[in-house]
A and B are shown apart, each in its own frame.
Chain A
Amino acid sequence: MSTVTEVTPPAQAETSGAEAGRAAIINDFSIVACTKNGSGSQTANLTILRSFFKMGIPVVGKNLFPSNIQGRPTWYTIRASKDGYVARTDAAEITISLNPEGAQDDYNKTAPGGVFIYSETGDRDSVKVDMHRKDVSHYPLPVKKIADPLEKDAKLRTYGRNMAYVGALAWLIDIDRSVIEAALRYHFKGKDKPVQSNMAIVNAAYNWAAQNWTKTDPFRVEKMNATEGLIVLDGNTAGALGAIYGGVNFVAWYPITPATSLADALGDYLPILRKSPDGKPTYSVIQSEDELAAAGMIIGAGWAGARSMTSTSGPGISLMSEFTGYAYFAEIPCVIWDVTRMGPSTGLPTRVSQGDVLKAYYLGHGDTKNICLLPSSVYECFEMGWKAQDVAEKFQTPVFVLSDLDIGMNNWMSKPFDYPETPLERGKVLTEADLERLKGFARYRDVDGDGVGYRTLPGNKHPFSAYFTRGSGHNETAGLTEKSPEWVANMNRLGRKFESARTHLAQICAPVVDEVEGAEIAIISFGSTDPAIVEARSRLAKEGYKISYLRIKALPLANEIKDFVAKHKHVHVIEMNHDAQMLQLLRLHMPDMATKLHACNLCDGLPLTAKWVSQAILK
């Protein structure tokens, strides 16, 4: 434990900021706010984030929070990047320290030449650390003295104190206060009262800083024009909306971090967006007793003709294993969002990983393979939200969407969502009229040669419509069978269906390929590793390195990935899990080129940085 008994006064900055000859650093730094979990710092942090965005500065916000509810340290990082980089960086240039616990560590981690703003309250909430660093500019902030008199409601005072650092920071780095007010107005959905009470604290802190601080650091923001037309949102909200625009009409779920906010967003937006002309809901959402029941409910719903989904994370995925195998074999559509967190077991529930790739792909028992969509951004969460619904019904099978905590729970800039360009694809469903024409049907017969049979929905009034669904061996007409040839034929058809899915996904979720002329090195990746790779490639390109990049958007793997690998000498498979899971799938997909593929994986609970990516490729 780092107990600091002797507190040294802040060292005088030697390299004291712009005035001392250091060039100003504009729109290119990170801020980390270290606060107490549950102290309501979210409003303050989102206000800073939204202010940068409104000033036209590319920005990203990441919440690094502990797995408990109140009191423990939590960190929120905001990166402003004139170049548009949105990956995590190793250290923040500006540390705002409001939580004495762990403050020394936060201080020590501040980037060289950085800023340390700390609460000085004269009581046990004061940050007392050994401020020995001469490269750092120190700014004490009496948050209680500034904010408490302006907040009559004692219960809201901790919130108010967080707004004090917003105001002081505004003075220090030049955030326009009218922009802060606009950001607050956004946050409070236009409600005047909270905007005004928060602005009062922001102004007081701004004035206090103006009178008491001398700027000795080089960091500043300036208006630019790089966020025009963009939106800021988290991936879980985007995924929920994608599903809603994809026509989801049955949701069953069980709370689990980091998937809960996806179900919450469904609960928030469905009532607004999905009412029938007579005002009735066109959906149903059930919080089930566990993930097992959630899986059962969405499968029952999919069988009966709903577009159904659930959202969960690792432990829930494990509980859904038997049901996924069932739905795969009985051929029932449903969508399962896995907002991946760190495993195994309960793992690190509030940290990120991509550790469920193999699990989701093979979930079930006895030769199951599942379609997985792999979003890498908020935009793709929306897009795959609706596409997953189409794919599930088209192929009559469970479809996984593997998002993760970083995309799902953090705030990202995005292009505005595009309205789905294709109509809802409901798959092969026979109506009463079809049955009358056909005089019957065989549920599992491969009529079209794509491995996908025709189904009827319970409630179909035609006397020939009914069939019996089971997870046990069945023949073309859905009859129970234990005959080997019938079993083999059915499994072969499922194999054909999977190949049809591979072809289809290669069109609607095609790999994103950026081939560099003459490159021998390439990267293959998927999901939320993308921002770090984009930044690393761009920095390395400036140093003269030629590196191609292919980003996978779906499983089963598209065949064209083989062509890409064939064109390069070394292909680094970048992923955030311990066992290089995607690498394993790629090697199975192209055994003849297996030795070209190199593991490039890190699993430490944190989003990747460009620095790590560069070093990992060049080593």
Chain B
Amino acid sequence: MTTETPTAPLPTAKANIPNINRPLPVKPAAPAVNRIGLAKPDYNGNESTLCNGCGHDSISAQIISAMYELGVNPNSMIKLSGIGCSSKSPAYFMNRSFGINTLHGRMPSIATGALITNHTLQGIGVSGDGDTGSIGFGQYKHLLRRNLRMIYIIENNGVYGLTKGQFSATSDQGAVLKHAGRNDYMPIDMCLEAIISGCGFVARSFSGNAKQVVSLLKMAYAHRGTAVLDIISPCVTFNNKEDSTKSYDWGRNHDERINDFGFVPNYEEITIDDFQESEDKVVTMHDGSRIVLNKVSAGHDPTDINAAIKLCMDAREQKRFITGLIYVNPNSPSLAELEEVNNDVPLAHIPNEQLRPSKASLDKLNAGWK
């Protein structure tokens, strides 16, 4: 061992996300801090290298807002991704969280190993429609089946951005792209797939709808298992023609909110009586947070799985761009709970003495094989 000490300047986080869709930050009078005493820049990441105007950058900004507003400790969160433009984005938010950029389509398996090893961490995964819907479809389905507790965001642009404009599994049927030609196949509906795989939190949104995305992220954070957010996130370079269901124009003109909701995090003390109307439906999440669905009768009831499936089927057939909370079932136990590792000490912190059984136990085994 040499005496040299490992020192490295930490990259100082810069909030410099070139993004035309993101609302300009309003400069606070005094440096505002959240309930754990961190300022919003503490949730920033590196400078983005994505194209100007890419929907993915808006989502990074919305993640920063949501986690800042919730007062999430960056040290207790891990960021995960696969491969793609979308999957690059964990480098562009929350530098103070550990991040892991895995293989194309294989983030779910890495997430499973990491979050079973330390179930006290909250995972936030960012993937693309190619990463999840094509190469990673199998792992996506198995992740949902196991109900690993994490937020799983699909930044869905209906195209492969990073490899320059090929069709993905969510491309519109009949769509024509410059190099890829015509797509003859049915798109896969990531939300529908999530519901039928047993996922207990399924939402769709639009990267241009910051308010909705932020609310959904907060709700997803409170979910007991895997929370899927299928966020339409336009690729300005390869798939932003107005007739594409993944374009900005389409998003702005067709966004159809299936429900309105409020979110009461578990650390806020508000009693049910505070909710005004009797038709409001309150869904209590496993961590005690509450989702208040305003006037459910008028819209979609996300606790009804059959209604959720029908809604997705109808929307796909009628090319309706539905957004909001499609399905929620806060009760299914997560993988860590099922694996019984849900005690106070994560596997990663089990002391060495408990990892190696005693000599006496080996002596006994040896004697038994004689």
Residues of A within 8 A of B (CB): 229-233, 241, 244-247, 249-250, 252, 273-274, 276-278, 280-284, 286, 288-290, 292-308, 322-323, 326, 330, 416-417, 419-420, 423-424, 426, 438-442, 445, 447-449, 453-454, 456-472, 476-477, 479-480
Contacts and interface: CB of A to CB of B under 8 A. Distances in A.
B139 A479 contact: no
Given A323-B103, A461-B75, A302 B113 contact: yes
Given A300-B100, A300-B102, A463-B96, 10 more contacts: A231-B366, A282-B355, A297-B109, A298-B113, A300-B109, A424-B355, A438-B5, A453-B6, A462-B75, A466-B74
B241 to A, nearest CB: 31
A230 B367 CA distance: 9
Contacts of A231: 366, 369-370
B253 interface: no
Contacts, number: 234
A303 B359 CA distance: 29
Nearest to A330: B100
B101 interface: yes
Given A304-B348, A438-B7, A439-B7, A289 B116 contact: no
B76 interface: yes
Given A292-B109, A323-B106, A459 B120 contact: yes
A246 B357 CA distance: 9
Contact of B362 (A295, A417, A441): A417
Q: Which of A283, A293, A294, A302 counts the most chain B CB atoms within 10 A?
A: A293
B347 interface: yes
Interface stretch (B172-180, B208-216, B269-277, B338-346): B338-346
A386 to B, nearest CB: 8
Given A286-B116, A296-B110, A308-B113, A440 B7 contact: yes
Q: Which of B103, B138, B357 counts the most chain A CB atoms within 10 A?
A: B357
Nearest to B79: A468
Interface of B: 1-2, 4-11, 74-76, 78, 90-91, 95-103, 106, 108-118, 120-121, 138-139, 142, 339-341, 343, 345-350, 352, 354-357, 359, 361-362, 365-366, 369-370
Given A302-B113, A441-B7, A442-B7, A480 B91 contact: yes
A232 B97 CA distance: 50
Contacts of A458: 78, 98, 114, 118, 121, 348
Given A233-B369, A419-B359, A442-B6, A288 B109 contact: yes
B352 A426 contact: yes
A-B residue pairs, 4 tightest by C-beta: A296-B109, A300-B113, A247-B355, A305-B348
B339 A284 contact: yes
A247 B121 contact: no
A292 B110 CA distance: 10
B345 A468 contact: no
Given A290-B138, A458-B78, A304 B8 contact: no
A283 B347 CA distance: 7
A278 B90 CA distance: 38
Given A306-B347, A439-B7, A459-B346, A468 B103 contact: no
Nearest to A435: B6
B109 A250 contact: no
Nearest to B362: A419
Contacts of B362: 245, 417, 419
B339 A286 contact: yes
8 contacts: A288-B142, A300-B115, A445-B6, A448-B1, A453-B6, A467-B98, A468-B90, A471-B103
B348 A306 contact: yes
Contacts of B111: 300
A438 to B, nearest CB: 6
B97 to A, nearest CB: 6
